[in-house]
Amino acid sequence: MAQVPSNTPTACLALADGTIFYGRGFGATGITVAELCFNTAMTGYQEIMTDPSYAGQIVTFTFPHIGNTGVNNEDDETGDPVAEGMVVKWDPTEPSSWRATARLSDWLTSRNRIAIGGVDTRRLTRAIRAQGAPHVALAHDPDGNFDIAALVEKAREFSGLEGLDLAKDVTCAQSYRWDEKRWAWPEGYSRQDNARHKVVAIDFGAKRNILRCLASAGCDVTVLPATATAEEVLAHNPDGVFLSNGPGDPAATGTYAVPMIQKVLEQKDLPVFGICLGHQMLALALGAKTIKMNHGHHGANHPVKDHETGKVEITSMNHGFAVDSQTLPDGVVETHTSLFDGSNCGIRIADRPVFSVQHHPEASPGPQDSFYLFERFAEHMDNCKSA
């Protein structure tokens, strides 16, 4: 089966099952191989492409107007795009935002990322939902020369994300301090100069805006690499420890992260807060297990129920693995679940200031329903200091 546009295609998306999508290429030329997922967010394509949690993946955007606000120098979540490529319905238009400093296509070219437009993304999304996240090869050739058989074979040879520790590929090379706060009109990004708490953040692939949220909540943040030991963490004498988002198979990253977290948890009055991969790392350290999802959760419109307040929050998500709630040990409370599929979205240790969530409460991009979690982390640190 192949969906072929009337004009000459300059890009091709080949699925491992032999399905071919033709379209118009933009951005860099060449071939890339990855897992394919879809994202339902209507805004934030620059943040999505630079989210380290997308390492090893190509993103299909279900919203058709991708590129219409261009890109700028402030919205990157890390230094360079991490997602391997992008698939869109319509070709990007000229940017129409006062914040734009470049066109999306030029930005992708300069960052060596391949994109394809003119694809029936609704059909592609339905296929992902029905069959699971496929392995794909994405090619862009301005002359339209494609070896289809070779592309399909490349997709079939892709090993997939299970068993891959990708956190080590996107983490920082050395420790650093972070004091930049959330963007606000009209000053933009300001600095935290009156921090109340010392926080060590473990970088499994941390988004910049998550670090900004910690700073805005009154934290003086020191970021350590994913491979940091418990001794290195505790040497900073932190008031709290943060476990960041990140890509790959949590069980693979857990081979070195879980022992560190378990030793940190021996400090009974030390608050710990985890997000996304950090949530999964905490669950593994407590004795639970993680599972690969059929097509994962990627978007900014995911309803999550907080079972302790009864509230439903609309959240931003990006994960292909989930904590198996059936394996949570005694003493660990399931606090949040997805209203899409009932999967686990949050846990806490009973009677201790240790908690985590699967979703991204910093809302970059997405709604801000869950920002209170950063304030809860700060409140836990206040309470422990008072005690």
Query: 């919205």: which residue's tokens?
Result: 75
Which residues, in sequence order, are CB contacts of 6 under 8 Å at separation 6+?
A: none
Alpha helices in the chain (DSSP H): 45-49, 104-110, 121-131, 148-157, 167-170, 208-216, 230-234, 250-264, 277-285, 372-386
Residue 5 has pLDDT above 70, yes or no: no
Residue from 341, 36, 52, 375 nearest 223 by CA: 52
Instruction: Give yes or no: 334 in active site.
Output: no
- Give the per-residue pLDDT at 117: 97
Between helix 277-285 and helix 250-264 the angle, nearest 10°, is 60
Instruction: Give yes or no: 360 in active site.
Output: yes
In angstroms, rounded to a whole number, what is the distance separating the alpha carbons of residues 172 and 132? 31
- Give the per-residue pLDDT at 366: 84
Q: Point out the catalytic residue in the list 12, 213, 219, 276.
A: 276
3-state secondary structure of 21: strand
- Give the per-residue pLDDT at 4: 46
Instruction: Give yes or no: 362 in active site.
Output: yes
Please, are residues 292 and 286 in contact by the beta-carbon 8 Å criterion? Answer: no
Q: What percent of the chain has pLDDT over 90?
A: 92
Query: 């290429």: which residue's tokens?
Result: 25
126-158 pLDDT per residue, tens:
999 999 999 999 999 999 999 999 999 999 999
- 2-157 and 167-386 agree in CATH topology: no
Distances, alpha carbon 219 to alpha carbons 29, 199, 304, in Å: 42, 6, 27
Distances, alpha carbon 312 to alpha carbons 54, 199, 307, 308, in Å: 26, 29, 9, 11
46-77 pLDDT per residue, tens:
999 999 999 999 999 999 999 999 999 999 99
Report which residue type is found at 334. E
236-269 pLDDT per residue, tens:
999 999 999 999 999 999 999 999 999 999 999 9
Residues in the chain: 387
Q: Point out the catalytic residue in the list 77, 297, 362, 380.
A: 362
- Give the per-residue pLDDT at 80: 87
Alpha helices in 184-228 (DSSP H): 208-216
- Give the per-residue pLDDT at 2: 52
Fold (CATH) for 167-386: Rossmann fold (3.40.50)
Q: How confident is the model at residue 363 (pLDDT cuts 50, 70, 90)?
A: confident
Please, are residues 283 and 328 in contact by the beta-carbon 8 Å criterion? Answer: yes
Q: Point out the catalytic residue in the list 197, 297, 298, 360.
A: 360
Please, which residues bridge with residue 26 across strands? 115
Average pLDDT over residues 17-25: 97
In angstroms, rounded to a whole number, what is the distance separating the alpha carbons of residues 306 and 369? 11
Please, are residues 85 and 48 in contact by the beta-carbon 8 Å criterion? Answer: no
Q: Which CATH architecture fits 2-157?
A: 3-Layer(bba) Sandwich (3.50)
In angstroms, rounded to a whole number, what is the distance separating the alpha carbons of residues 49 and 338? 24
209-229 pLDDT per residue, tens:
999 999 999 999 999 999 999
Residue ranges covered by each domain of the chain? 2-157, 167-386
- Give the per-residue pLDDT at 238: 98
In angstroms, rounded to a whole number, what is the distance separating the alpha carbons of residues 344 and 32? 32
- Give the per-residue pLDDT at 358: 98
